[in-house]
Amino acid sequence: MAGHAHYREAHPLVFVITHWINLICMIMLAFSGFYIHYPFFGGFMGVARGMHFVAMYVIIINLTFRIIAAFFVKTATDLGSHQVDTDIKNWLPQEKNKHQFFETVKYYIFLRKEAVISAKYGSLQKIAYLATIPLTYLMAYTGFAIYGPTMTWGLFSGGVEMVGGPMNMRIIHYFMMWVFIVFTMIHAYLANIYNFKPSKIIFAWKESE
Amino acid sequence: MAQEAHGAIYDLLAVRGVSRRDFLKYCSYVAAMLGLSEAAAPAIAAAVEKGSKLKPALWLNGGSCTGCTESMAQVDSPDVATIVLELLSLNYFETVMAAAGEHAEKNIQDTIAAGGYLLIYEGSVMTGEDGNTLLVNGHKGTDILKEAAESADAIIAVGACAVDGGWVAAHPNPAGATGVQAFLDVEGVKTPVVNIPCCPMNPEWVVAMVVQWLLVAEDDPATFLAKTELLGKSYDDRLTGRNVTLLYPKYVVGSTIHDNCPRRGHFENGDFVTEFGSAEEAMGYCLYKVGCKGPQTFTQCPITRWNRSVSWCVQSGAPCIGCGAISWVDNNTPFFKRLSSMQMGDGLGYVQPGSVAAVVGGVAAAALVAHGLGMKAAGRIGPDGPPTETVKKHDRKRQAKGGDK
Ligand code: HEM
Ligand code: HEM
Ligand code: HEM
Ligand code: SF4
Ligand code: SF4
């Protein structure tokens, strides 16, 4: 799996760009989020909030665009392959991922030696990538629920009431930041554990054999 | 009409050394609270004068510290607010009335029997000990409230305790305390309740609601509700397990403290107090880092202010502790920390969200490092990666069993 070639078909330029936007927004949101949570140096609150409020719209638009594009853009069907098909098919679990979930888990906890057959993404990877979608929208929801201009909208005030008040909503938003941080840690780790070929393609769009 | 107004109210004001001009000024201040223009001031003055002679009221005390009464009575000089309230025909006001004993009880009973009064209720409704609290001559406090509520035109629940139980209802709530609305919902009493938040409540907000009643209600609760700008907020009452909708004056709960705070400029500029007693505190910087709950608290304190508009919490140098919020003690402690602590379970104590997050992040980082070392030890790392199966294990098993049917 990791020894295969990495061609541009795996991540066409649009997705390299959406990934960059994701990464930059996430860094901005997490940094400004940490600052809003507890201003650890002086003189930056206005900028931090401005940064948060811009990046939050960008990341939502970017994610929504990424999902829509999955129905139109073609990506490689398999690891190290030039053959392409509509991205959404490669994104959702496929025939090749069947019966592989527990085998993948076993592989990663060293209960089996050989790596497992997967499609473009392994079954765990697909679960993780799909989970980021509702997670990001939920993050946006909890964010708008503590955002002055929107928090009185019925859609959001109902949620605030459900969790027992705006303080609790802030704590949920804060905890969810950590979910993203842990996700990104695991994600960056797994993406680069074998070698940096996957990063070369997703960041620099450079192919490697 | 009001220009010519004189009579009982002006005599009373004059005795207290309050001029007619002061009174009208106060009326325009009340007008602003009610969302009316200053032009409404004479009408308010007229309504107060007319209504004050007519409207009977009861002030009952529930489970509380009597701080709201204290807030009302803090005056050291003539104060229009107290005079206006005094002009209500307050037939019963435990803490300050002259009557006592049977005579006072009779005042309650007579007022209830006659009906058509305003009920001002201060304090939580304590349902613990089978309601055997606040006993007056053998009558349970909860029964007195129910009886008085049923025949009232409207109820003004004053202070956080009357709103949702306040600090009396804080975990673990041994008194079984709850708010007036939650209690009346259970008892099926439909009399409208207007809630005045904070601990203690702000006297000006109570006056504004009394004046509003005198001004628009025409002694009819439905008219009062239709003509008053109210905002409904729901919450899940922990004691009764019900979803309760509280009506507040919109003016009081329409925006956050943070949005109206005079220190907001410091907040935006990132000028924060990190420690009490520091130079930053002396410069009046924003109190966000020392636990100010202003951003999450929806009350009008910075505008109305307290003690006859002399000052308020943040102006006097203390972070807002969020006493205008629902479940305010449980939701806003510790007072000097930005986020509230979470209870880990009965007897297990409390923990700050940041501590939980740091542990989770640390464990994840350590696990990844350990996993990476394992991957290296297993010889999986390198340009070629680990050996990969050529057939899925599932398929191998099936083939071993004889393949597809
Ligand atoms: C996706 C859409 C998002 C929206 C709409 C949003 C919105 C907000 C808003 C309105 C605030 C309150 C700011 C203030 O009152 O000054 C906030 C705070 C915060 N945000 Fe976000 N945000 C989003 C995403 C994120 C992400 C992705 C992260 C982290 C990875 C994050 C981390 C934080 C943190 C830590 C706080 C401070 C919470 C506190 O301690 O009170 N946010 N966010
Ligand atoms: C027992 C736990 C887990 C196991 C065994 C596991 C296993 C795997 C495997 C086998 C891959 C494919 C790697 C590759 O061949 O490139 C993968 C990828 C991935 N996993 Fe997991 N995973 C686990 C938990 C998680 C969690 C909790 C998250 C996120 C919250 C996550 C996020 C990812 C991501 C983002 C990728 C894509 C990495 C890449 O781009 O190559 N995983 N995981
Ligand atoms: C430390 C920073 C990051 C690194 C090093 C990194 C690396 C990578 C790599 C190498 C891939 C290609 C995976 C493969 O081909 O198997 C990838 C894909 C992906 N990453 Fe990241 N990533 C980072 C941050 C993020 C963040 C913050 C997010 C969003 C929360 C994210 C979401 C994704 C998604 C959804 C994919 C799938 C690609 C697609 O089809 O759009 N990544 N990342
Ligand atoms: S002192 Fe409190 S309410 Fe005022 S600006 Fe700072 S955080 Fe907001
Ligand atoms: S500023 Fe905060 S703590 Fe002070 S009275 Fe208002 S809500 Fe309560």
pLDDT tens per residue across span A45-79: 999 999 999 999 999 999 999 999 999 998 888 88
Number of folded domains that form chain B? 3
Rounded to whole angstroms, the Cα distance separating B260 from B303 reads 7
B113 and B194 housed in the same domain: yes
Q: What percent of chain B has pLDDT over 70?
A: 91
- CA dihedral sign of residues B256, B262, B265, B271: negative
A 10 A CB-CB count for A200 gives: 14
Three-point CA angle B204, B110, B135, nearest 5°: 75
B135 and B180 housed in the same domain: yes
A 10 A CB-CB count for A122 gives: 24
Pocket of ligand 4 contains residue B294 by CB under 6 Å = yes
In a domain, B100, yes or no: yes
pLDDT digits (tens, 9 = 90+) for B35-89: 677 777 787 777 777 755 567 888 899 998 989 888 877 655 556 666 666 667 7
Q: What is the DSSP string of A31-70?
A: HHHHHHHS--SSS-HHHHHHHHHHHHHHHHHHHHHHHHHT
Q: Is A80 on the interface with B (CB under 8 A)?
A: no
Q: Are A165 and B325 in contact (CB < 8 Å)? A: yes
| Run of H or E including B234 | strand B230-236
Q: What percent of chain B has pLDDT over 90?
A: 47
Rounded to whole angstroms, the Cα distance separating A182 from A199 reads 19
In a domain, B355, yes or no: no
B136 and B229 housed in the same domain: yes
pLDDT for res B8: 66
Which of A97 and B278 is assigned the larger pLDDT? B278
Q: Is A110 on the interface with B (CB under 8 A)?
A: yes
Which of A38 and B349 is assigned the larger pLDDT? A38
ipTM of the complex: 0.81
Rounded to whole angstroms, the Cα distance separating B301 from B281 reads 20
Distance B274 CA to ligand 1 centre (A): 22
Query: Domain spans of chain A?
Result: 13-204
In a domain, B40, yes or no: yes
The residue whose CA is least distant from atom 6 of ligand 5 is B301
Shortest CA distance from A99: residue in chain B = B394
- Above 80 in pLDDT, residue B263? yes
pLDDT for res B1: 35
Query: How large is the average pLDDT for residues A178-195?
Result: 87
Query: How large is the average pLDDT for residues A159-165?
Result: 90
- Above 90 in pLDDT, residue B212? no
pLDDT digits (tens, 9 = 90+) for A96-113: 787 788 888 888 888 888
For domain A13-204, give the fold. Fumarate Reductase Cytochrome B subunit (1.20.950)
- Above 90 in pLDDT, residue B267? yes
B286 and B183 housed in the same domain: no
Pocket of ligand 4 contains residue B290 by CB under 6 Å = no
In a domain, B374, yes or no: no
In a domain, B186, yes or no: yes
B79 and B215 housed in the same domain: yes
A91-100, B184-193, B217-226: range with lowest mean pLDDT: A91-100
Rounded to whole angstroms, the Cα distance separating A52 from B43 reads 48
Q: Mean pLDDT in chain B? A: 85
B240 and B324 housed in the same domain: no
Tokens read off for B228: 């008053």
Rounded to whole angstroms, the Cα distance separating B79 from B26 reads 10
A24-28, B65-69, B307-311: range with lowest mean pLDDT: B307-311
- Above 60 in pLDDT, residue A130? yes
Residue where one domain finishes, among candidates B218, B233, B253: B253
Interfacial B residues in 280-319 facing A (CB < 8 Å): 288-289, 293, 296
Q: What is the CATH number of the domain that holds B303?
A: 4.10.480.10
Q: pLDDT tier at A171 (50, 70, 90 boundaries)?
A: very high
Q: What percent of chain A has pLDDT over 70?
A: 99
Task: Find the domain containing B3 and state its range.
Answer: 1-51
pLDDT for res B4: 40
Query: How large is the average pLDDT for residues A133-162?
Result: 92
B163 and B306 housed in the same domain: no
